[in-house]
Amino acid sequence: MPLSAKYSSFNLAPLRRNTIGKGSTAVVKTVHAVSDHNKIYAVKEFHKHGGAYDSEHDYNAKLAVEYEIVKKLRHPNIVHTEELCLGPHSRWCHVMEYCAGGDLFALIKSQTEPMAPRERNCLFKQLLRGVAYLHSVGVAHRDIKPENLLLTLDGTLKISDFGVSHVVQEDIPDGEVKLCTAVCGSEPYISPEVFPAEDGSVLYDPRTLDVWSCAITFFCITFGGHPFAKADMSDARYKEYVEKLEKFYNKHPDADFSSSDCEDFPNVRMLTPFSNACRRLILRMLEPDPKKRITAQQALNDSFVHRIELCCMTTDADMDPAAQGVVIDATDKNSQKNFSKAPIRRSHSHFANSKKKS
């Protein structure tokens, strides 16, 4: 279907500049529904040229694969793709929900002071929810970073840009796992096993990459930057991190960061600002050995994450007090007070400390 049959980029007075993002393979613009100008959407228009695609057939094939992935994704923390349309100059377009809050990278850079722990933790938990869902349906993102995480005005975080995503399993949960053989993602967020071995070979489970990238993103939210330029021994900070882990395990061979009783930690400076519970989780996510690294679902089930308060409803179950183990009696003040302690509360705003645009 032609894009113009249902969508138009004209008469957008509040959105004078309808281009909201550019990349090597696509440009993202805002449009409105022809039938209702109040309904705003984002359209990702894919370039045909520029070296990203070898031929017309390659262009069509790669975009078909991406669309096949995104069209089946349904989760509050995933950007919803409405449909595939043919835009100007026979360019394919993904019509998606519009996230008016912009991307997480811009939010991080706009903060006038460090983000409060409850705010950064809220974003982290939403990210883990989205990634755990992706893995549960057999998809790995492979490029988790703040630039690819969008926000709605109510503070809901949504994972976007599935251009390098990978179908890990066709049949869940017992289907064959399809490993990856190419380096993918942005270097500071890439896990160590993704970088080529000495013989130049690459073979990894992309889900372990996503978990590592989530932890690095958490550091970006907290400190405004990533802990390593590259998770490789050629990087001084990463090398120091690995050596301190090895030194710790040599001294504490039975250390178990999955246990709340574990109070001994590697002497890693970047972890000192966090609570013990948070440190235990991050160490499990930033485990250099992918076979020992926890899964996204295990991270989501961690006691530290379970206690994180969210500022928005992210699943239908969140709206059901019984799903949170809370029984409400409208005539009982104590019952209502208990529900106020549930982990879903609109008690903070991720945009409160952002610089005001002139």
Instruction: List residues with catalytic annotation.
Output: 143
Cβ partners under 8 Å of residue 356, min gap 6: none
What letter represents residue 302's amino acid?
D
DSSP-assigned states of every residue in 254-295: T--TTSTT-------GGGTTS-HHHHHHHHHHT-SSTTTSPP
Q: What is d(CA 194, CA 201) in angstroms, rounded to the nearest whole number?
A: 10
To the nearest 10°, the Cα dihedral for 164, 39, 146, 215?
Answer: -80
| Segment (H or E) for 214 | helix 206-223
Q: Is 125 helix (H, G, I), strand (E, B) or coil?
A: helix
What letter represents residue 253's amino acid?
P
Q: Do 213 and 285 meet the contact criterion of CB atoms below 8 Å apart?
A: no
Q: What is d(CA 68, CA 82) in angstroms, rounded to the nearest whole number?
A: 12
Q: What is d(CA 27, CA 12) in angstroms, rounded to the nearest whole number?
A: 18
Q: Do 62 and 69 meet the contact criterion of CB atoms below 8 Å apart?
A: no
Q: Half-sphere exposure of residue 234, counting CA atoms within 13 Å on the CB side? A: 7
For residue 325, give both structure tokens. 């183990």
